[in-house]
Structure 1
C-alpha cells in the first residue's frame, strides 16, 4: 500500500510539473513577438471570461458567446423579451500593453429587434479595458477603448468600420483631447457576410493605429480614463486623466449577431 501511495504521489507531482511547464511555455509564447499567437483556439472559450450587463461576471447568459464549427459566435436565439441593455463582452484572461492584435470577423443576420437601433450591424473590440472582475453587476460598458466594427446598411451610403469609440475614456486626436464618443475611420464600407481583417497596433499609452484589410484607417494617441457613456462603474476605478498603459481585450455583444474566426496577437517590445 505504501508503494502504491508513493506511486500515486509521484504521478501527481509529475502531472503538476507538466501543467506548470505548459503554462510557462504558453505565456512565454505570447510574449514572443516573432510570431502570431492565437488567443482563440478554435475549440472552446478556455482562457476567456464573460461579463454581461445585469449579470455577474462569468455568467454567459443565453449562451451568448459560443463556439461552433471552429467559429466564435455571438448569438441571441436563447434571449426572450426586451433586450434590456444586456450588452456583453468576452474578455481574454490576460492583460496586454504594447501589441499587434488581429481579428477576422463577419456580420451575419440576427439583430435582436428590441436592442437600440444603433446596434444594428454594430459590434466591437474593446482594449485597454478594466478587468471584468472589477465591474459591478449593473455596469453597462467597461471603461475601455473600442475598435468599433460596422457593416453597411443602406446601399450606396458609406458606413466605415474600424472607428474608435471611448466608453469611460478619452484619446488625443489631431493634437487635442477629442470630445466625441466616436471618431470615424477612413475605411471602406463592407457588406454583411464578408470576412474582414481588423488590426490594432497599440503602444501602451502612446500611439494607437487601426488597420482594416491592410490599410491604415485611423491613428490617435494617449488613451486615458475620462469621458462619459459608461455607467454603473465603481467610482474608485474611474479616475479621469489616468493614462491607460495596459488592459484587457474583449469581444463585444450588443444585440447584433457576429462571427469571429481568428483572434491573434504579437506582443511588441519597446521601440517596435
Structure 2
C-alpha cells in the first residue's frame, strides 16, 4: 500500500510539472535598470509641472535606483510589457514606509490626479504583497474576507480598492534587502516576497502595460530590477507563441 501511495504521489508531481511547462516558458532575462542613470524610464511628478527647477524624487546613488519619497509621483518604463516575471530587490534604508510596484500601467494620473491606471503591488512595510486596484480590477479567492463588503468594492476614489495579501511576516527587518517577484501572465498576477507566495489575482482587467515604481513619502532603494519575458502556450496547444 505504501508503494502504491508513493507511486500516486510521483504521478501527481509529474502532472503538476507538466502543467507548469504547458503554462509558461521563460526566455532571456533583461535588467530594467543599468545602475548608472534612468535610461529607459520617465518620471511623472505633478509637483514638477509648474516648477522645472524643483528636484525630482528619483535618483541614482551608489549604483542603486532611489525613490526619495517626495515630491510624490511615479517612475515609469518607456516600454510596455506583457507576459513576464519581474524580480525587484529593495529596502527601506532608514524609516519604514510606503512604496509600490505598479504593473499594467497605462493612463497617467487616472486616480487622485497622481496614480496611473494600473494594479499596484504594495511594498508598504508590513503590507508587502497587497493589491491596490487603480482604475483596473482583479479577482482573488476569498474576496469578501480580503477586500471587505462587496457593495464597497470599486476602482476609483472612495471605493474599497485594497486586497490583502495571504501572509504576515514575509518581509525582512528594516534596512535589510527584500526580494519581491511579480509574475504577470495573461490576466493572472502572482506575487512572492522573500520566497513566500503572498498573493494571486486573476481575471485582471488589463494584461499589459508599463511598469512603474512610486515616490510615496518614504525613501526606498532598489538594487535590482530584472525582467524575464515569458512565452505563453498558444491557443491551439501546438506551439510556443511569443506574447
- TM-score, with structure 2 as normaliser: 0.71
User: Could you tell me which residue of structure 2 aligns to residue 266 of structure 1?
Assistant: 228
User: Could you tell me which residue of structure 1 aligns to residue 101 of structure 2?
Assistant: 125
2:28 touches 2:229 (CA, 8 Å); kept in 1? no
* Deviation at residue 175 of structure 1 after TM alignment: 7.3
1:223-271 Cα deviation digits (max 9, x unpaired): 22xxxxxxxxxxxxxxxxxxx1211000100111100001110111113
Question: For the structure 1 residues 60 and 36, does the alpha-carbon distance in structure 2 shift closer, same or farther, using more than 3 Å as the test?
Answer: farther
Question: For the structure 1 residues 95 and 123, does the alpha-carbon distance in structure 2 shift closer, same or farther, using more than 3 Å as the test?
Answer: same
1:52 touches 1:61 (CA, 8 Å); kept in 2? no
Tell me the distance in 2 between the aligned counterparts of 1:147 and 1:175.
18
- TM-score, with structure 1 as normaliser: 0.64
- Deviating beyond 3 angstroms after TM superposition, the runs of 4 or more aligned structure 1 residues are 54-57, 175-178
Tell me the distance in 2 between the aligned counterparts of 1:176 and 1:190.
27
Correspondence 1:144 to 2:118: yes
Partner SS, residue 265 of structure 1 = strand
Question: For the structure 1 residues 265 and 38, does the alpha-carbon distance in structure 2 shift closer, same or farther, using more than 3 Å as the test?
Answer: same
User: Could you tell me which residue of structure 1 aligns to residue 196 of structure 2?
Assistant: 215
1:131 touches 1:247 (CA, 8 Å); kept in 2? no
Question: For the structure 1 residues 64 and 164, does the alpha-carbon distance in structure 2 shift closer, same or farther, using more than 3 Å as the test?
Answer: same
User: Could you tell me which residue of structure 2 aligns to residue 191 of structure 1?
Assistant: 173
Tell me the distance in 1 between the aligned counterparts of 2:178 and 2:142.
30
Picking from 57, 60, 77, the partner of 1:92 is: 77
User: Could you tell me which residue of structure 2 aligns to residue 182 of structure 1?
Assistant: 162
2:57 touches 2:72 (CA, 8 Å); kept in 1? no
Cα RMSD between the aligned structures? Answer: 2.6
The alignment covers a number of residue pairs equal to 193
User: Could you tell me which residue of structure 1 aligns to residue 209 of structure 2?
Assistant: 247
User: Could you tell me which residue of structure 1 aligns to residue 32 of structure 2?
Assistant: 39
Q: Which blocks of at least 5 consecutive residues in structure 2 are unaligned?
A: 1-24, 148-152, 154-159, 234-239
1:50 touches 1:60 (CA, 8 Å); kept in 2? no
Tell me the distance in 2 between the aligned counterparts of 1:261 and 1:60.
27
Q: Which blocks of at least 5 consecutive residues in structure 1 are unaligned?
A: 1-31, 80-85, 111-119, 152-158, 225-243
